[in-house]
Amino acid sequence: MREVIRARGHENVTAEHASTFEVTTDDYLTPAGDCILAVDADRAPADFDDEFVAACREPGATITCTLRADGHEETAVGVGHPDLAFDSERSMVGRTSDYVDERTVMLASSISAAGFDRDLVAALADGADVTVTLAVE
């Protein structure tokens, strides 16, 4: 099962955060938002299909998050958890930790924002259009 989100990069994308990455529906980004990879997302976790959310809550669920922009691609791989809420109407966050809040879409991510391909990050900082694909198995 998959959820596809369309967003765009922003001049303030730095992707330097060591434990999270985020995609937000906000249309702006301050320099302090070093975990944010894309803005102006057309969907948030609260918009995801109930069946997709249920699959992400299954023990042993594997969740992948793939970002594609300007011919560059990076995939983070993490796990689901029964406590994932998918309630946020604003942003989705992948975490390398096991912390859960309404924005969390995956835990134990293989990479944080700092681990994303630097060519992809440069494209995002140039404002490239982004396709974010969340998949669960």
Which CA distances in Å does 10 have to 4, 20, 67, 85, 99?
Answer: 19, 18, 14, 27, 27
The whole model's pTM is what?
A: 0.96
Question: How is the beta sheet containing 2-8 ordered, strand by strand?
Answer: 2-8, 129-136, 62-69, 72-79
Q: Top-level CATH class of 2-136? A: mainly beta
Q: pLDDT tens digits for 37-78?
A: 999 999 999 999 999 999 999 989 999 999 999 999 999 999
Per-residue model confidence (pLDDT) at position 8: 98
**CB 2, CB 42: distance < 8 Å:** no
- Read off the tokens for 27: 């249309």
> Averaged over 103-122, what is the pLDDT?
98
Q: Which residue has the tokens 């309404």?
A: 102
Q: Is 71 helix (H, G, I), strand (E, B) or coil?
A: coil
The Cα–Cα gap between 117 and 76 comes to 11
Q: pLDDT tens digits for 16-36?
A: 999 999 999 999 999 999 999
Residue ranges per domain, the chain? 2-136
Per-residue model confidence (pLDDT) at position 14: 97
135 pLDDT band (50/70/90 cuts)?
very high
- Read off the tokens for 35: 């975990």
Percent of the chain past pLDDT 70, that is, above it, reads 100
- Read off the tokens for 131: 């396709």
The Cα–Cα gap between 53 and 3 comes to 10
Per-residue model confidence (pLDDT) at position 65: 98
**CB 137, CB 61: distance < 8 Å:** yes
> Averaged over 90-112, what is the pLDDT?
98
Per-residue model confidence (pLDDT) at position 19: 98
